[in-house]
Amino acid sequence: MEFQLGFIVAGLIVGFIVGLTGVGGGSLMTPILLWFGIPPTTAVGTDLLYAAFTKMGGVYVHHKKKNINWSITGWLSLGSVPAALLTLWILHSIKTDITGINAIIKYGLGWALLFTSIAVLFKKKLLVFSQKHAGDKFHSESKTQNILTISIGVLLGATVTLTSIGAGALGTVTLFFLYPLLVTPRLVGTEIAHAVPLTLVAGLGHATMGNLDLGLLGQLLIGSLPGIFIGSMMSGKVPDLFLRNAIAIMLFFVGYKLVFLA
């Protein structure tokens, strides 16, 4: 991949938005890479490792602040990592039909964006709803809660491996329902901690299939690392509701285009 300033700028913008709002980078970066003309398989594979390396810094910060519930992270990973490996095996088994794989990824990406846009738009309302039902039966039965957490992990593992989307916004929203009494910073920190091994396994799997552009990855990281730092420093100084609504609307239209117009 030749040097292109556009990729560094894209990494800077996405990193800044992630640091500012917490919205998952995959839901923004993958559509941008498709817009640049990057093939869907390469866009997903590269974005997964981009997310893994970017969020490692987040894990360090959240761990220092004690914002990670490692038990929940473990139960999620118990479902997501095997699901990621199974999805990679399925993609590998049909790798001869690259056109078919690209079509599947585009379609899956579209639906993931549609669900993510809804999750981002109604995130606070979903949190309030889940807290109202904090006394429901499944919240107080640890075995049932663990099984449901593993199930969420399976869903996230397949979705993230196929589309590189879901580890952030979708993962956090689903955890709101299972752990409504857990404070938001610990939910976010826990999901970031879970996203690292998931995106790393999925990204390395895609890399073995040739779905990785190291030059592209390097350029994205050059922009994203300072972008995340700047966004984190400005968090709370820019109207969060306005940004989230704008991002949700954008993701919805991109998803709609991929599912119904592509």
pLDDT band at 133 (very low <50, low <70, confident <90, very high): low
pLDDT band at 262 (very low <50, low <70, confident <90, very high): low
Query: Using alpha carbons only, what angle is made at residue 157 by residues 177 and 143, rounded to the nearest 5 degrees?
Result: 45
Q: What is the predicted pLDDT for the residue at 75?
A: 94
Which long-range CB contacts under 8 A does 256-262 form with residues at least 24 apart?
A: 256/110, 256/114, 257/110, 258/106, 258/107, 258/109, 258/110, 258/113, 259/107, 259/110, 259/111, 259/114, 260/110, 262/106, 262/107, 262/110
Q: Would the pLDDT of 225 be above 80?
A: yes
| Mean of all residue pLDDT scores within the chain | 81
Is the alpha carbon torsion for 216, 114, 251, 60 positive or negative?
negative
Over the chain, what HEC string results? CCCCHHHHHHHHHHHHHHHHHCCCHHHHHHHHHHHCCCCHHHHHHHHHHHHHHHHHHHHHHHHHCCCCCHHHHHHHHHHHHHHHHHHHHHHHHCCCCHHHHHHHHHHHHHHHHHHHHHHHHCHHHHHHHHHHCCCCHHHHCHHHHHHHHHHHHHHHHHHHHHHCCCCCHHHHHHHHHHCCCCCHHHHHHHHHHHHHHHHHHHHHHHHHCCCCCHHHHHHHHHHHHHHHHHHHHHCCCCCHHHHHHHHHHHHHHHHHHHHHHC
Q: What is the predicted pLDDT for the residue at 83?
A: 96
| Segment of 62-71, 79-88, 96-105, 224-233 carrying the highest mean pLDDT | 79-88
pTM of the predicted model over 0.85: no
| Segment of 15-24, 30-39, 215-224 carrying the highest mean pLDDT | 215-224
Rounded Cα gap, residues 228 and 221, in angstroms: 10
Q: What is the predicted pLDDT for the residue at 236?
A: 59
Mean pLDDT of 185-211: 88
